[in-house]
A and B are shown apart, each in its own frame.
Chain A
Amino acid sequence: MRRIRLWLTCFALIASALPAHAEPLKVVASFSILGDLVRNAGGDRVEVSTLVGPNSDSHVYSPTPADAKKIADARLIVVNGLGFEGWLPRLVQSSGSKAKIVTASDGITPLRVGSSADPHAWQSVNNAKIYVTNISRALSVADPAAADQYMANTQAYLTKLDALDREVRDAVSKLPPDRRKVISTHSAFGYFAVAYGIEFIAPLGVSTESEPSARDIARIITQIRQAKIPAVFLENITDPRLVQRISAETGAKVGGTLYSDGLTGEKGDAPTYIDMVRHNIKALTRALGD
Chain B
Amino acid sequence: MITDTLIAPFTDFEFMRRALAAVIALSLGAAPIGVFLMLRRMSLVGDAMAHAILPGAAIGFLISGLNLFAMTTGGLIAGFAVAILAGLVARNTELKEDASLATFYLVSLALGVTIVSVKGTNIDLLHVLFGNILAMDNQTLFVIAFNATVTLLVLAVIYRPLVIECVDPVFLRTVSRAGAPAHLAFLALVVVNLVNGFHALGTLLGVGLMILPAGIARFWSRDITGMICIAVLSAIASGYAGLVLSFQTGIPSGPAIILVAAVFYIISLLSGSCGGLVRQAFPGRHLEA
Taking Cβ atoms with an 8 Å cutoff, the residues of A that contact B are 52-53, 55-57, 60-62, 64, 208, 210-218, 221, 237, 239, 241-242, 244-246, 248-249
Q: How far is the CB of B241 from chain A (nearest CB, A)?
A: 12
On chain B, the number of residues with a Cβ less than 8 Å from chain A's Cβ atoms is 36
Closest A residue to B14 using CB positions: A249
- Residue B101 at the chain A interface, CB threshold 8 Å: no
CB pair B122–A213 under 8 Å, yes or no, is no
Docked Cα-Cα span, A245 to B18, in Å, equals 10
Which of B129-137, B214-222, B261-269, B277-285 contacts the other chain? B129-137
Given A56-B122, A60-B122, A241-B140, A215:B249 Cβ within 8 A: yes
- Residue B5 at the chain A interface, CB threshold 8 Å: no
Query: A52 contacts which chain B residues (CB < 8 A)?
Result: 122
CB pair A211–B253 under 8 Å, yes or no, is yes
10 new A-B contacts, CB < 8 A, other than A213-B256, A214-B256, A241-B135, are A55-B123, A214-B15, A214-B247, A216-B250, A218-B12, A221-B13, A239-B135, A245-B134, A248-B137, A249-B13
Chosen A-B contacts, 29 in total, with CB atoms closer than 8 Å, are A53-B121, A57-B122, A211-B202, A212-B132, A212-B252, A212-B253, A213-B246, A213-B250, A213-B252, A213-B256, A214-B9, A214-B15, A214-B16, A214-B19, A214-B243, A214-B246, A215-B246, A218-B12, A221-B15, A239-B131, A241-B135, A241-B137, A241-B140, A244-B137, A245-B18, A245-B136, A245-B137, A246-B15, A249-B15
Query: B124 contacts which chain A residues (CB < 8 A)?
Result: 57, 60
Docked Cα-Cα span, A213 to B251, in Å, equals 5
Query: B128 contacts which chain A residues (CB < 8 A)?
Result: 239
Query: A61 contacts which chain B residues (CB < 8 A)?
Result: 122
Docked Cα-Cα span, A245 to B136, in Å, equals 7
Within 8 A of A (CB), among B81-132: 117, 120-124, 127-128, 131-132
Closest A residue to B134 using CB positions: A217
- Residue B34 at the chain A interface, CB threshold 8 Å: no
Within 8 A of A (CB), among B1-15: 9, 12-15
Q: How far is the CB of B133 from chain A (nearest CB, A)?
A: 9
Docked Cα-Cα span, A23 to B32, in Å, equals 68
Closest A residue to B133 using CB positions: A214
Given A239-B132, A239-B135, A217:B15 Cβ within 8 A: yes
Within 8 A of A (CB), among B190-220: 202
Total A-B residue pairs with C-beta atoms closer than 8 Å? Answer: 90
Closest A residue to B68 using CB positions: A241
Point out which of A53, A60, A239, A244 has the most chain B C-beta atoms below 10 A from its C-beta: A239
CB pair A208–B9 under 8 Å, yes or no, is no
CB pair B253–A213 under 8 Å, yes or no, is yes
Docked Cα-Cα span, A215 to B5, in Å, equals 12
- Residue B75 at the chain A interface, CB threshold 8 Å: no
Docked Cα-Cα span, A214 to B257, in Å, equals 11
CB pair B132–A242 under 8 Å, yes or no, is yes
Query: B256 contacts which chain A residues (CB < 8 A)?
Result: 213-214
Q: Kindly supply a per-residue 1/0 record for chain B positions 17-41, scoring 1 wherever the CB is within 8 Å of any chain A CB and 0 otherwise.
A: 0110000000000000000000000
Docked Cα-Cα span, A249 to B18, in Å, equals 11
Closest A residue to B254 using CB positions: A211
- Residue B149 at the chain A interface, CB threshold 8 Å: no
Closest A residue to B12 using CB positions: A218
Given A212-B253, A221-B15, A241:B121 Cβ within 8 A: no
Q: How far is the CB of B252 from chain A (nearest CB, A)?
A: 4
- Residue B64 at the chain A interface, CB threshold 8 Å: no
Docked Cα-Cα span, A60 to B12, in Å, equals 36
Within 8 A of A (CB), among B174-198: none
CB pair B252–A211 under 8 Å, yes or no, is yes
Given A53-B120, A249-B14, A215:B250 Cβ within 8 A: yes
- Residue B248 at the chain A interface, CB threshold 8 Å: yes
Docked Cα-Cα span, A194 to B18, in Å, equals 36
CB pair A241–B131 under 8 Å, yes or no, is yes
Q: How far is the CB of B121 from chain A (nearest CB, A)?
A: 5
Docked Cα-Cα span, A248 to B132, in Å, equals 16
Q: How far is the CB of A121 from chain B (nearest CB, A)?
A: 23
Docked Cα-Cα span, A289 to B131, in Å, equals 32
Q: How far is the CB of A154 from chain B (nearest CB, A)?
A: 31
Query: A248 contacts which chain B residues (CB < 8 A)?
Result: 14, 137
